[in-house]
Structure 1
């Protein structure tokens, strides 16, 4: 009798913890794949699927549905498939979904919670309006010289090796390049990570972005139980690393203010923004950095007086996030451009011809205007962002009660309460044949002058959509273009024995992490 009671209690506990939470959407008439715990995001651990493939499979599971139910570690989230509904939620009814999920409690990660991604409500609105002027095309033009110097130094390292073919692992070399760009443009620090492989800035950055076991465990603990996270002080970032970056910013600001130093980088722009000296400049060429550039919303263009100043801690928080975001997402873009160019030499040859023709007009000098006018380069970058987006899915949190009204027969009404989540499956949308025919094919012609006008609104959103889209899209696109102009000016990117075709992905992490790395060869050109 005793063991029978224990068994019943265990079954009840199992139902309450592992089954009932996963009937949330089913009870409301919303289609869902998961029925119990193993169907959650934890399937990434227990199956051989990568996170991008998981998102794509969930998106494809109900092809006729405008939205479906899913779970993020037991928490219900509505995956929105319908493009018009995405527009409705992210643009027209943005005031109901202004915030991102809180990854870390402020008491555990005080610096992280001050950055633009983490801020909420009016604090976010004020910061977005304050920072937006620092990311316009004119400001990117002023930073071009810093990016160009980094790219030239980076490529020179491989030129000087004087080998028939230089074998490289792309994640390693491009994460180092992205590191140097962020170091010089956001922190005012000069380093050459491809040559000086153990420099302090790179080591600290590598530690910051390394998702080891304990860091991943702390991340999930923060998501599933913020109270426990606070109780155990489950810090995601190493304190010494955070202190290093904060001190680097603090010292740089002090030196600049004391000696009246002006350097065309992010620290200078953030210092100016904090003093109210920056205004959002309207420009007819505001999308000149690329088709994927996100247009700033009225929130970012606001001219209302800002309610709070930007402190040194705020500058450090924003710079830290720029590093965290740029280190991974931009290097991912660079990796898969190279991989696709190696697999498609005809596309690479056409791009190289465009680069050669442009450089002839400038006597071999790489300029801001020559780089931003390269249409085929922009087509290739846009297609890479479609097929290999740096952000696989985007989310928002409901801040005011909201109802999704049914449109189709049998479709249920969905009511959102404050704190409920909605998810936009960017990778699923990008790989939907209804949006892009033969989506697994790498085809830059989707983004030529004739075809890009036919792309459905909200079917291409590599940098997100709406007022909370990525503020740094121009920065990311420009640094990528500068790098590839210098790289293809000197090298052909070729397939080598270590190049995996197709490319197997890891089942850990949240992006396109190659199981064996991404290997190609750099073959010097016979110019």
Structure 2
């Protein structure tokens, strides 16, 4: 008889831990799909049957014609918000109820990941956002422009020196070397040429930090999603100790050198050093009425607030690391997809090159910050790239205090969200919804022309998120992309080669938005000299 009782207990426990949690949304009257016990809706990603983008599209499509639906990351319930007005309500109007992101790696396990701007919560996030925001204003971008332009010039010169008609390159590897060099000079004050010095430590650390294709790192990532309490007990860090040591040493040495030699450089490290002394200047001398583009997100009152915050070396290192982490891989990925679209759509590339040549002629061959930002078609191409290929595939918010979603349709009833409920914003799927973007698979920069851009439904274009918790580096990323493509297309034509995969297929091996087999294209030298 004992074995019967044990079997009943085992079945009861199995039901309690694997089946019951997947009825969470049904009990609240929220429609959901058909999650699988233990795996929820995440089974496709876990078994490499879906890319992260496929997963977001899958959960978006499984319950059509609703403002929101329930889904599950393994056994964790998420509320998937699809309606633009509800997105605005959550991210802007009622932001005080949804201040935080979900924290994956606890601060006590990995301080550098736990103390960065993305991971910070509550008032600590507000203070750090206000501290960092002056580093990303239009006037600061104008200063960064010359450093980016120098890196872009070196990038193009490297390929011009090869004296080949067509140089075949894998774009992801190539563009990460450019973004690495830009971050090194604009954030850390370090001159690096990663195309010439291919194995420099700065670049190798960036590769290590952003590579999620390995089995061990994938297991750690899924482990924190499935059994976070267990990984917290054993203090399992997502990254190795070597990475932490490198960045801690780099920042500590930079700060010490600048303090000892009284070096002042208008970059992120200097700004954080000034904030630590309480002498940060919040005033921004806006010298241009032209912003970096349609996709640029505005800073909220949170970022404009006055703050006196004491920063430790570890605080400074954590912010520099997340800036490096985001800029190294994310911006390079956007560039890859833009190169792909230009490579397979020569008419769009030719039109962009015409605008570049017109700008060059107007400025007598010298590119200026203001002239780059006035290039309308360049902005349309970048904006459409971010629409079709938003590398921030999705975003989230945590309900920080109880909140009720009031019904707006006859099928709905009030939904009380408990504290710590996860809200998911399916950015990739919203950008591909034909209700908002007709023929969503088509790459069409005209969506964002002066004639058409006012037709974009607010809060359906979210490449950098929405509300006060949007991406602080949107201006930086957009400017970095525009500068490089200006220089590339001034000298080369991007063309398909034998290794080019058309149509592009998304990789299922990594969480990042990546082409299966890489981004192989040729840089064909233009006939005329530059």
- TM above 0.5, yes or no, is yes
CA distance in 2, matches of 1:319, 1:133: 15
- Other structure's SS at 1:309 match: coil
1:59-85 residue CA offsets vs partner (Å, 9 max, x unmatched): 122231000001123110100001000
- In structure 1, how many angstroms separate the alpha carbons of the residues matched to 2:54 and 2:217? 23
**Residues 467-520 of structure 1: per-residue CA shift (max 9 Å, x gap):** 000000000001111100111111000011111111122223333221111111
Once the 2 structures are TM-superposed, how far is the Cα of residue 197 of structure 1 from its aligned partner? 1.1
Q: What does residue 199 of structure 1 align with?
A: 200
The CA deviation string for residues 329-369 of structure 1, in whole angstroms up to 9 with x for no partner, is 10111000000000100000000011111011222122212
1:27 corresponds to which residue? Answer: 27
Q: 1:34-183 maps to which residues of 2 (within 5 A)?
A: 34-37=34-37, 38-46=39-47, 48-183=49-184
Q: Could you tell which deviates more after superposition, 226-235 or 466-475?
A: 226-235
Call closer, same or farther: CA 1:172–1:63 in 2, change over 3 Å.
Answer: same
CA contact (8 A) 2:290 2:373 kept: no
Name the residue aligned to 1:291.
294
Q: Secondary structure at the match of 1:522?
A: strand
Q: Which residue of 2 is the match for residue 245 of structure 1?
A: 247
From 244, 254, 263, the counterpart of 2:256: 254
Other-structure match for 1:301: 304
Alignment partner of 1:389: what SS?
A: coil
| Superposition map of 1:190-229 within 5 A | 190-211=191-212, 212-229=214-231
Q: Aligned equivalents of 2:453 and 2:287: distance in 1?
A: 19
Q: Distance in 2 between matches of 1:408 and 1:282?
A: 47
1:2 shift after superposition: 5.7
SS at structure 2 position matched to 1:142: helix
Alpha-carbon shift at residue 18 of structure 1 (Å): 2.2
1:76-104 Cα offsets, whole Å, 9 max, x none, are: 01000010001011111000000011111
Q: Distance in 2 between matches of 1:34 and 1:80?
A: 18
Displacement of 1:287: 5.7
Q: 1:286, CA displacement in angstroms?
A: 6.3
Structure 2 residue aligned with 1:470: 471
Unaligned runs of 5+ in 2: none
Is this contact kept in 1: 2:79–2:422, CA < 8 A?
Answer: yes
Deviates more, 1:92-101 or 1:273-282: 273-282
Q: Deviations over 1:425-455 (max 9, x none)?
A: 1111111111111110000000011111111
Query: Shift in Å at residue 414 of structure 1?
Result: 1.5
User: Which residue of 1 is the match for residue 404 of structure 2?
Assistant: 403
Partner Cα separation in structure 2 for residue 313 and residue 454 of structure 1? 45
Q: Is the 8 A contact 1:132 1:280 kept in 2?
A: no
Q: Distance in 2 between matches of 1:36 and 1:243?
A: 41
Name the SS for the 1:493 alignment partner. Answer: strand
Cross-structure match for 1:12:
12
Deviation, 1:9, is 3.9
CA deviations on 1:32-84 (whole Å, 9 max, x unpaired) are 11332344223212362211122112212223100000112311010000100
Offset of residue 317 of structure 1:
0.8
Equivalences for 1:112-511 in 2 at 5 Å? Answer: 112-211=113-212, 212-274=214-276, 275-281=278-284, 283=286, 285=288, 288-303=291-306, 306-511=307-512
Query: C-alpha separation between the residues in 2 aligned to 1:125 and 1:353?
Result: 44
Once the two structures are TM-superposed, the CA of residue 224 in structure 1 deviates from its matched residue by 3.3
Cα shift at 1:280: 4.5
TM-score by length of 2: 0.96
Root-mean-square deviation over aligned CA pairs: 1.6
- For residues 95-147 of structure 1, the C-alpha deviation after alignment (integer angstroms, 9 at most, x for no partner) is 00000111111111012211111111111111111111111000010111111
Tell whether the 8 Å contact from 2:151 to 2:178 is kept in structure 1 after alignment. yes
Q: CA deviation at 1:315?
A: 1.6
Q: What SS class does the counterpart of residue 111 from structure 1 fall into?
A: helix
**8 Å CA contact retained: 1:45, 1:507:** no
Question: Residue 300 of structure 1 aligns to a residue in which SS?
Answer: helix
Corresponding residue SS for 1:492? strand
Three-state SS of the structure 2 residue aligned to 1:77 is strand
- The farther-off stretch of 177-186 and 278-287 is 278-287
Asked whether the equivalents of residues 335 and 481 of structure 2 are also in contact (C-alpha less than 8 Å), the reply is yes
> In 2, are the aligned partners of 1:496 and 1:520 still within 8 Å (CA)?
yes
Alignment check: 8 A CA contact 2:167 2:523 kept: yes
CA deviations on 1:161-197 (whole Å, 9 max, x unpaired) are 1112111111111111111111111122211111211
Rounded Cα–Cα distance in structure 1 between residues aligned with 2:220 and 2:497 = 39
- Cα pair 2:35 2:71 within 8 Å, conserved: no
- d(CA) in 1 for partners of 2:169 and 2:56? 30
**Aligned residues between the structures:** 525
Range 249-258 or range 115-124, more displaced: 249-258
TM-score, reference length from structure 1:
0.96
- In 2, the alpha carbon distance for the partners of 1:286 and 1:135 equals 16
